[in-house]
Chain A
Amino acid sequence: MSIKADDFVDITDVVCPVTFVKAKMGIEELEDGQILEVKLNEGEPLLNVPRSFKDEGHKVIEVNDNGDGTFTVFVEKSGL
């Protein structure tokens, strides 16, 4: 992991629609340009959460497969 995140949120403990709610609340606390690291489950959260971030103007800069059914996504606040 080469990217240094400013904050981290784990949304593997919740299901839709709370997944994005929790992720959104995480990025709210950051300043524009800062990076949020989000750990999420494969499947529905991986499909929807990065897309919802893009819809709100944030840039998904990297997606890593953790190999255990979870992924780690790095998002730059207001990066689009």
Chain B
Amino acid sequence: MEITNEQMERYSRQIILQGVGGKGQKKLLQAKILIIGTGGLGSPASMYLAAAGIGTIGLVDFDNVDLSNLQRQIVHSTNDIGRPKVLSAKESITAINPDVDVVTYQKIVNAGNLKNIIKDRDYDFILDCTDNFPVKFLINDACVLLQKPFSHAGILGFKGQTMTYVPGRGPCYRCVFQTPPPSDAVPSCKQAGVLGVLGGIIGTLQATEAIKYILGLGNLLTGYLLIYDALTMDFRKVKLSRNKKCAVCGEKPTITKLIDYEQPKCEAKR
């Protein structure tokens, strides 16, 4: 593929970077990234990835835009209330950068469809931008079973966390958190609230990891959980090890196909 003069101008600030260049920009333009969840985390992640020139972006979300989403889900606008989030997000992304091929999946991800969604365009990197534990474990297991790298993240209240899984390069999410917590043990964003900027900070970190992975630059958050506290303004990097007894990526895995955990009743949606 050839980079046009217009693309040289659009991406000039990153092509100029040492370690990126035209070759790196071509890698980005040929990359395929799947974003599961177009909410607080998925909004900034999808917008920055689109702006950076990721060639194919898949968006998964079954939900419609709600007024209460707009405090943090910046890819959607007031005019989009009631519309499918994947369509609203696709419009925003295309407006930012028409170079991007946006693929939409208006679905609730489950054990029956997740692998097929990932395989649909053979995505290179996956972003877990979801808001509930059952789906987070589902995404982890699917990525381990398909040997796909992904970025995990979660935000709640004034805190957020993220880690990156790359096959063969450190622990998976299940190595660290063996099973989902009981469905009533953890409040959801709806019950506990979340500072809108948390999605911006952590979702943008996820986009950063995806871009670095595609470019092969720097160090990823493999083997680390990064925890951010907006109130104390601390970024803490906790070192993590692989669990040889991990049920999905360990030496003798007991999970060989995907499991649907029960969703908390009031949050039976992505």
Q: Does A54 contact B (CB under 8 A)?
A: no
In the assembled complex, which residues on chain B have CB atoms less than 8 Å from the CB atom of A52? 16
Residues of B near A28 (CB, < 8 A) are 21-23
Give the contact-size bracket for chain A: 10 to 19
The reply to whether B23 and A22 contact each other, CB–CB distance below 8 Å, is no
Are B22 and A18 closer than 8 Å at their CB atoms?
Answer: no
Query: Does A56 sit within 8 A of B, measured CB to CB?
Result: yes
Interface string of B11-31 (1 = CB under 8 A from A): 111011010011100000000
Residues of B within 8 A of A22 (CB): 5, 8
A56/B23 in contact, CB under 8 A = no
Q: Which residue of B lies closest to A16 (CB)?
A: B12
Q: Is A67 an interface residue (CB 8 A)?
A: no
- Interface check B186, CB cutoff 8 A: no
Question: B3: CB under 8 A from chain A?
Answer: yes
User: Does the CB pair B16–A24 fall under 8 Å?
Assistant: yes
Contact in complex: A21, B16 (CB < 8 Å): yes
B18 pairs with A18, CB closer than 8 A: no
Q: How far is the CB of B28 from chain A (nearest CB, A)?
A: 14
Question: Is B9's CB within 8 Å of the partner chain A?
Answer: yes
Q: Is the interface of A mostly helix, strand, loop or mixed?
A: helix
Inter-subunit contact A20/B21 (CB<8 Å): no
Asked if B13 and A14 sit within 8 Å, CB to CB, the answer is: no
The answer, yes or no, to whether A69 is at the interface (CB within 8 Å) is no
Task: Say whether A25 faces chain B, with CB atoms less than 8 Å apart.
Answer: yes
Pairwise interchain contact A17-B16, C-beta atoms closer than 8 A = yes
Q: Are B23 and A21 in contact, with the CB atoms below 8 A?
A: no
A25/B9 in contact, CB under 8 A: no
The smallest C-beta distance from B85 to any residue of chain A, in angstroms, reads: 35
Could you say which residues of chain A place their CB within 8 Å of the CB of B9?
14, 17-18, 21
Report the Cα distance A46→B125, complex, angstroms: 41
With A and B bound together, what is the CA distance between A35 and B210 in angstroms? 34
Question: How far does the alpha carbon of A56 sit from the alpha carbon of B21 in the complex, in Å?
Answer: 11
The answer to whether A24 touches B22 (Cβ under 8 A) is yes
**CB within 8 A of A17: which of B12, B18, B22, B23?**
B12
Proximity bits, A53-67, B CB within 8 Å = 1, else 0: 000100000000000
Are A21 and B18 within 8 A (Cβ)? no
Give the top 9 A-B pairs by smallest Cβ distance, nearest first: A25-B22, A17-B12, A21-B8, A21-B12, A21-B15, A18-B8, A18-B9, A28-B21, A28-B22
Q: List 7 A-B contacts (CB under 8 A).
A: A17-B13, A18-B5, A21-B11, A21-B16, A21-B22, A25-B15, A52-B16
